[in-house]
Structure 1
Amino acid sequence: MRLSHNVPIFQGLDNSWYQLMLASRTPGLTLANRLLDFLGNAGMVIYSVLLFLVLLFRHRRLAFFTAGANLGALGLTHLIKFLVARPRPLDRLVSVDSGSYPSGHVSATVAAMVATAIVLGKLWMWISGAILSVAMMYSRTYLGAHWLSDTFAGAILGVGVTLLLWAAVQDKCLQRYAVLR
């Protein structure tokens, strides 16, 4: 839903949050958020590949589920970025080269954390995954790489892709393997 041809209805909230992020920038917070920037990009790729390899030899179907969740979220994120082509905030602390909506860092982080939590079936993984996901959402807005609504869209996309894929494959995964609990 839009207020006008090019302005999302939630742009007022996005602008308010963006101003709060600009006002809260400090050297220490900037360093911490740059680390999260790395974790959400190369870090999630490394994590996802390692998780896939660990699962591959003993729990092949679960390995392909985690890879499918990550690749599905990544592919859908890039398709939506291309179709929506939303401009990013202007005062960025990181270099970016694609549309703002939805956040790829957030969708990748959420997909990886939800897939891992499903596979492990442990409460601590759900909690730590949620904390990391919220930290990534904060980081992407702090660095000026995304609007707040972009990060919520990325989170919803990551959860949605992972849960839809799990709904489609869980019977096959659980037929052959005991859940890793």
Structure 2
Amino acid sequence: MTRPALLWWGVGAILAAIALGSSLTAAGPDAPIAIDTGWNAVMVSIRSEFLVGLADVFNHVGGGWIATYLIPLLIVAALLLVKRWQAAVFVAVTLLVSVGAVQLLKSLFGRARPVDMLVASDFGSFPSGHTANAATLAMLAVLLFPRLWVVLIAVFWTLAMALSRTALSVHWLTDTIGGMLVGAGVTLIVGSIMVAWAQSSPPLSETEVPR
């Protein structure tokens, strides 16, 4: 994908997330739409001990210190070990910007969460931070390692995280869609900047090596 394509797809995804959040909260932060209440009812009806337990695993892996610190540090360290320092910078910057964008939109829209959620969570239902983080990692993986099996795992991981958030009734369905848009959009925008940086950086052989 070319740099302009990365940029415009990324901007489009962010604008779509903002438009979605605006439409969802136009009638007030405590007024969920029919598709959200319907999906939440389905999730409640199919709850089982296994499903809730699995969703709780995703809850811990996709948020808190594991998602915020451990996973990013492991990925950055692995990329530095194989001397892909630009990729390491790409991952670190993208994850930071993604978190910032999610918190900004949460504050902007202030959407209320479902009243029957099974786990404690922070302020703001839209967009889903767990899903945004999953989508960010998924898009990073696809851009850095463009392979079919990577794409399939990335899609599965993002959808599984989104499903787990609604299974716990900690988010509405549309919150997870917003999270996907934010995570993918931020990654594509930062990716376009990284491509421009890489194109403007001279090869190592052309740089002056201090003696």
Normalised by the length of structure 2, the TM-score is 0.77
1:51 aligns with 2:97: no
Q: Matched residue pairs, number?
A: 177
> Is the alpha carbon distance of 1:4 and 1:103 closer, same or farther for their aligned partners in structure 2, counting shifts above 3 Å?
closer
1:93 aligns with 2:115: no
Determine the C-alpha separation between the residues in 1 that align with 2:92 and 2:25: 38
Determine the C-alpha separation between the residues in 2 that align with 1:31 and 1:90: 20
1:9 Cα deviation (Å)?
Answer: 8.9
1:10 Cα deviation (Å)?
Answer: 7.0
Q: Which runs of 4+ in 1 moved over 4 A?
A: 7-10, 174-177
1:126 Cα deviation (Å)?
Answer: 1.4
**Runs of 5+ consecutive residues of structure 2 not aligned to the other structure:** 1-22, 205-211
Identical aligned residues as a percent: 28
**Runs of 5+ consecutive residues of structure 1 not aligned to the other structure:** none
1:120 Cα deviation (Å)?
Answer: 1.8
> Is the alpha carbon distance of 1:109 and 1:83 closer, same or farther for their aligned partners in structure 2, counting shifts above 3 Å?
same
Provide the alpha-carbon RMSD of the alignment.
2.1
RCO comparison, higher one (Cα < 8 Å, 6+): 2
SS of corresponding position for 2:121: coil
1:3 Cα deviation (Å)?
Answer: 8.8
Aligned to 1:23: 45
1:4 Cα deviation (Å)?
Answer: 6.0
Determine the C-alpha separation between the residues in 2 that align with 1:12 and 1:27: 27
Aligned to 1:70: 95
Query: Residue deviations 1:122-166, cap 9 Å, x none?
Result: 221111011010000000001011000000000000000001111
Normalised by the length of structure 1, the TM-score is 0.90
Contact 1:107 1:155 in 2 (8 A): yes
